[in-house]
Structure formats: C-alpha cells, structure tokens
Amino acid sequence: MSITTQETPSGRIRIQISGRFDFSSHQAFSKAYKKYSRGACNYEVDLAEADYLDSSAMGMLLQLREHSTRTKDGVILKNPNEGVKEILRIANFDKLFQVV
C-alpha cells in the first residue's frame, strides 16, 4: 500500500493509491488530505493502481468529501479498475462522487 499526493495543474490535490485500500491505509490517507485546510481544496483520488477497496476505504472517501468543498465535484474518483468501479456503483458512490 502506498499513498502519495501532488497538486495538479488545475489546482486539485491528487491522492494516488497503490495496492490495497483498506483500514491499514487510514492514517496515511488522512494525513494526505488533512494537511490542507477544510473546505479549501478539491481532490482527485487516483485509483488506477488500487487493486482492492473495502468498506473502511469507502468511509475514508466520505471523510475526504466532508473535508473538501462538499460539492459533487469536490472529490473525483479517477481510473478505478472494473472491480473497484463495481464496488463503488453498488454502494451508490457514483451519486456522491464523480467516478471517471
């Protein structure tokens, strides 16, 4: 599991996740976005290299949404593989986030 952050040219904060995105990622994931002020940033979570996502990861995404600008595009979930995309769809996360 690896989590990195960087600012995109559009000003979003990109959080890249590699490997398993589960409870063991909680501290690193929280640290990645909490260094930015609440409501000050929009985020994109790059899931291209995430091979697993569980319910605790979904909870972390909801916490990130609360920390962001709270609009539907405050957090964009990018590049999920088909398995992760299906989990997000079943949980109706496509109604809360842009999934691209």
Strand partners, 44: 14, 76
Model confidence band, residue 70 (pLDDT cutoffs 50, 70, 90): low
Q: In whole angstroms, what is the distance from residue 40 CA to residue 8 CA? A: 15
pLDDT digits (tens, 9 = 90+) for 21-67: 999 999 999 999 999 999 989 999 999 999 999 999 999 999 999 99
**44 residue type, one letter:** E
CATH of domain 2-99: 3.30.750.24
Question: pTM to 2 decimals?
Answer: 0.93
Task: Say if residue 9's pLDDT is above 70.
Answer: yes
Strand partners, 45: 15, 77
Q: Where are the domains of the chain?
A: 2-99
Q: In whole angstroms, what is the distance from residue 19 CA to residue 7 CA? A: 21
